[in-house]
A = this chain, B = another copy of it.
Amino acid sequence: MIETLVSAPDPADVLRVDLCAIIVAVTDGTPRILTIESAESDPIASRALRALPWGPLDPRTDRTLERTLRSWVARQSRLALGYVEQLYTFDEGRAGEGLRRISVAYLALMQEQTIPQAGAGWQDVYHFFPWEDWREGRPELIDRCLLPGLTHWLGALGDPLQAERERERVEIYFGLDGAPWVPERVLERYELLYQAALVPEAGAQADSVLGLSMAFNHRRVLATALARLRGKIKYRPVVFELLPPRFTLWQLQQVAEALTGMSLHKQNFRRLVEQGGLVASTGEFAYDTGGRPAQLFRFRRRVLRERPAPGVGLPGGFRDS
């Protein structure tokens, strides 16, 4: 009632909370996320930018954050989400108009479905982070593009003490000089590249050999999600959210490999998973495997009671063949 009488509030007083969803699926060994076309298009290239499904939280709507998110996603892409967990809350600072924004990101796992909505679609995660996919061995892009860029950045730093600290970060996070490559350090690597201005957020000409860009800070959000997923897969049975109820061990392995970005030793993977009690055979078989028919397994719920941290371990041994 009074609303119509007052003039618009000072933008500096307004605090907006947005929700956004990283919806992940793995199909045929490709990890993908759902993107939509951002309403706010690229000012320079004047084309729509890829964005994560998102929307503002309306304080009038009396729902929980998670329910609001689900309804946003349903409206934007006609998807009913299953497994959802809160990921992180990002401070977006003050946007152009002086509006202060906070965004709460959620991670959702599902099986890929076709999206009827125009503009929405599934994108290969590694198109955004090509250096994170080590399934075919160490990506040559690291030596060809990343390290030269990082070295140049290090060289341009004024303070030699800071340069030394930053060099250590580069070595640790990118697995140089004897340090191991640690798949779950996705965010640390992204932030390093961002600091070095190699992966601009939401800029024009941001698509490059160093990956596709996204609207806002959504590429950073995605990096956070991949890091969480790579970590969590090892101690929680999240992989099964990405698989049908019955699956072959090879399918399971492909999902694990897709997420971690590493090739795993087949026999050992199978044993870990079976002996770990993570799966149980159903007695059924899949005949469309291209070779000998494979047993179909299901997730063995009882493992939750038996083991403190049931997940698919990332054994040291990758690179099967």
Residues from chain B with Cβ under 8 Å of A308 in the complex: 180, 182, 184
Q: Which of A8-16, A47-55, A137-145, A201-209 contacts B (4 or more CB under 8 A)?
A: A8-16
CB contact under 8 A between A60 and B13, given known A86-B89, A89-B86 = yes
Residues from chain B with Cβ under 8 Å of A305 in the complex: 168, 171-172, 177-179
A293 CB within 8 Å of chain B: no
Residues from chain B with Cβ under 8 Å of A7 in the complex: 2, 5-6
Q: How distant is A88 from chain B, measured CB to nearest CB, in Å?
A: 7
A74 CB within 8 Å of chain B: no
How far is it, in angstroms, between the C-alpha of A16 and the C-alpha of B64 when the chains are bound? 14
Interface of A is mostly: mixed
Residues from chain B with Cβ under 8 Å of A97 in the complex: none
Q: How distant is A167 from chain B, measured CB to nearest CB, in Å?
A: 12
How many chain-A residues does the 8 Å CB contact rule pick out?
44
Q: How distant is A185 from chain B, measured CB to nearest CB, in Å?
A: 9
How far is it, in angstroms, between the C-alpha of A89 and the C-alpha of B86 when the chains are bound? 8
How far is it, in angstroms, between the C-alpha of A6 and the C-alpha of B182 when the chains are bound? 56
CB contact under 8 A between A64 and B89, given known A15-B15, A15-B57 = no
Check A12–B306 contact: CB distance below 8 A: no
* Nearest chain B residue, comparing its CB with the CB of A90: B65
A102 CB within 8 Å of chain B: yes
A317 CB within 8 Å of chain B: no
A62 CB within 8 Å of chain B: yes
Check B91–A59 contact: CB distance below 8 A: no
A3 CB within 8 Å of chain B: yes
Check A59–B306 contact: CB distance below 8 A: no
Q: How distant is A14 from chain B, measured CB to nearest CB, in Å?
A: 6
Contact of A91 among B10, B64, B184 (CB under 8 A): B64
A100 CB within 8 Å of chain B: yes
How far is it, in angstroms, between the C-alpha of A7 and the C-alpha of B104 when the chains are bound? 31
Within 8 A of B (CB), among A1-38: 2-3, 5-7, 9-10, 12-17
* Nearest chain B residue, comparing its CB with the CB of A7: B2
6 tightest A-B CB contacts, nearest first: A15-B59, A6-B6, A59-B100, A182-B308, A89-B89, A179-B305
